[in-house]
Amino acid sequence: MGKSVIAAQMYTLREFCETPEGISNSLKKVREIGYEAFQTSGLGPIDPHELKEIMDREGLTMCATHVSFDRLKNDIDAVISDHKLWNCKYVGLGAMPGEYSGSKEGYIKFAKEISQIAKTLKDNGLQFIYHNHDFEFEKFDGKTGLQILLEECDRSVVDFEIDTFWVQAGGGDPAQWIRNVKGNMKVVHLKDMVMGRTNGERKRLMAEVGEGNLNWPAIIDACRDIGVEWYVVEQDVCQRDPFESLAISFRNLKAMGLE
């Protein structure tokens, strides 16, 4: 790729994407907002060929996916076939299963297992990426789970998909963690954090990119420094219409100088 591209993570719109018709309508709206790319996650059942027809019709590129760990372990041939059909290089895992995340030994075991899967993907021209939440910032023997993954994964085949909100929620510095995975990240997840109130109670909320308190100049600089290709907007929980939230984030990122 010659330039970075802003993409929409469809998990943001999952409640509108439970049927093929809903997926089609949602992707059409995503393109109308101005996005030229998207990441699949949280979509309802749809034939892979039908999804390909929809994205081609709307002029959209699928930049990455999130696939279940079960499919990666037990249905890898179909995963590879689907991604080649979609011309989508990046095969993502949204989170490790809970049974791995309670100990240092669990992280090491997961790192070994996912490295084997990632090698199979790499051998077929695809790239595995791992998406963090906040739980990976629990420490074991003085090291966070995410650091253990970095050290124990085969980084010749395993890449990462740092999520800015979840790094901040875990007590980390998003810009620094982006730099920590230099050489192993081409897809980043962007979401902001703000303090707000729900039912009168003060809470930490997800916000549109640029509408919260994260240090976006530092985050964008770090992404540029390590060569991120895809800037994926995700907002798990929106305080307004999710399409409007995606539009706000898109406009703000454009104003920050992203393409």
Maximum CA pair distance of the chain? Answer: 53
The per-residue pLDDT for range 155-191, each reduced to its tens digit, is 999 999 999 999 999 999 999 999 999 999 999 999 9
Per-residue model confidence (pLDDT) at position 197: 86
- pTM for this entry: 0.96
Q: Measured in whole angstroms, how far is the alpha carbon of residue 243 from the centre of its chain?
A: 18
What contacts 123, CB < 8 A, 6 or more positions away? none
CA distances from 1 to 4, 229, 230 (A): 7, 7, 10
CA-CA-CA-CA torsion sign (131, 229, 44, 249): positive
Q: Which backbone phi and psi does 158 adopt, to 5 degrees? A: -105, 125
Tokens describing residue 43: 């979509």
pLDDT tens series, the chain, 259 aa: 445 699 999 999 999 999 999 999 999 999 999 999 999 999 999 999 999 999 999 999 999 999 999 999 999 999 999 999 999 999 999 999 999 999 999 999 999 999 999 999 999 999 999 999 999 999 999 999 999 999 999 999 999 999 999 999 999 999 999 999 999 999 999 999 999 888 889 999 999 999 999 999 999 999 999 999 999 999 999 999 999 999 999 999 999 999 7
| pLDDT score, position 102 | 96
Domain that holds residue 98: 5-255
Three-state SS for the chain is CCCCEEEEEHHHHHHHCCCHHHHHHHHHHHHHHCCCEEEECCCCCCCHHHHHHHHHHHCCEEEEEECCHHHHHHCHHHHHHHHHHHCCCEEEECCCCHHHCCCHHHHHHHHHHHHHHHHHHHHCCCEEEEECCCHHHCEECCEEHHHHHHHHCCCCCEEEECEHHHHHHCCCCHHHHHHHCCCCCCEEEECEEEEEEECCEEEEEEECCCCCCCCHHHHHHHHHHHCCCEEEECCCCCCCCHHHHHHHHHHHHHHCCCC
Residue 159: which CATH number? 3.20.20.150
Q: How many domains does the chain have?
A: 1
**Quick one: pLDDT at residue 4?**
65
